[in-house]
Amino acid sequence: MGFTDTRFNVNLSILFTELSLLERPAAARAAGFTAVELWWPWVDAPVPEASELAALRDALNDAGVRLVGLNFYAGQLPGPDRGALSVPGAESDKFRANVPVAIEFATSLGCTTFNALYGNRVEGVAAADQDALALENLTFAARAVGEVGGTLLIEALNAPESPKCPIVSAPKAIEIVDAVNAATGLGNAKFLMDLYHLSMNGEDLDEVIDRYTDKTAHVQIADNPGRGAPGTGSLDFTALLDRLKKNGYSGWIGLEYKPGDAPSASAFEWLPAPLRAATS
């Protein structure tokens, strides 16, 4: 099968970061891509100024790229915070405040897919209390997303790079997906299958794909080791993406890798230019 019928999008929060936020959509389009995703761009502002939201919306529209995924507020990302929704106090409050803002912004661009990152374990708070808060906030977000016919993604990170994050395996992420769906009855919580994070955790990627494709609504890729472009590490993405297709996955493949020392525009040589523009 190869990559010929695969829909790729670029994560503008890890690629093209040598440019300003508002320059990145046009740069992605110049590299041949028509779809992008983003972590929440304002790490210190879960509710940014309306002018900032409008400027990013205009940059995406002017570039002619489609927003297909957006993270809810997750603190300093990349960085040590790695999520907010299970952290009591200000961070959890910021997550809740961000949910309607992020939904309004994304849906104005036709995007209804949202990633909600769990938070790190914090000192002085029982893990069970953090998990209860997380379920409460994820249920809140799933219901809000459900009002626009959207999908809430739950992602597993990796233990070596995020040792304080409790969601560091596919089975654990699926456990949370199932708990959110049981709490809401909506069925709109799904798995974000990040093959880099799962590989870093030492999981059998073939087994993960076979077991969980039916609960997966988004896939992200980066090679391992190094979190670089496909071909810089040891993962066989032709085989992995073929396996996803054979298991019924037809959604987006998010390119969430580091470009290395060269400009981001040069980090796509592995993917022929005609295959970068999504046709649907």
- Partner residues linked to 91 by β-bridges: none
Return the closest-CA partner of residue 220 out of 141, 145, 276, 153.
153
Q: Give 142's contacts (C-beta < 8 A, 6+ positions apart).
A: 152, 180, 181, 183, 184, 186, 188, 189
Q: Give 185's contacts (C-beta < 8 A, 6+ positions apart).
A: none
Q: 240 in the Ramachandran plot: left (φ > 0), alpha (ψ -120 to 50) or beta?
A: alpha
Q: What is the SS3 assignment for 102?
A: helix
Alpha-carbon gap, residue 34 to 228, rounded angstroms = 21
Where do the DSSP E strands lie in the chain?
7-11, 35-38, 66-71, 113-115, 151-155, 189-194, 216-221, 252-255
Q: Measured between alpha carbons, how far apart are the two ends of the chain, in Å?
A: 18
Question: From the candidates 37, 91, 203, 256, which is the catalytic residue?
Answer: 256
Q: Could you say which DSSP state residue 261 is in?
A: S
Question: From the candidates 37, 91, 155, 203, which is the catalytic residue?
Answer: 155
Please answer whether residues 41 and 75 qualify as being in contact, where contact means their C-beta atoms are separated by less than 8 angstroms.
no
Alpha-carbon gap, residue 268 to 231, rounded angstroms = 10
52 is an active site residue: no
Residues classed as catalytic:
155, 256
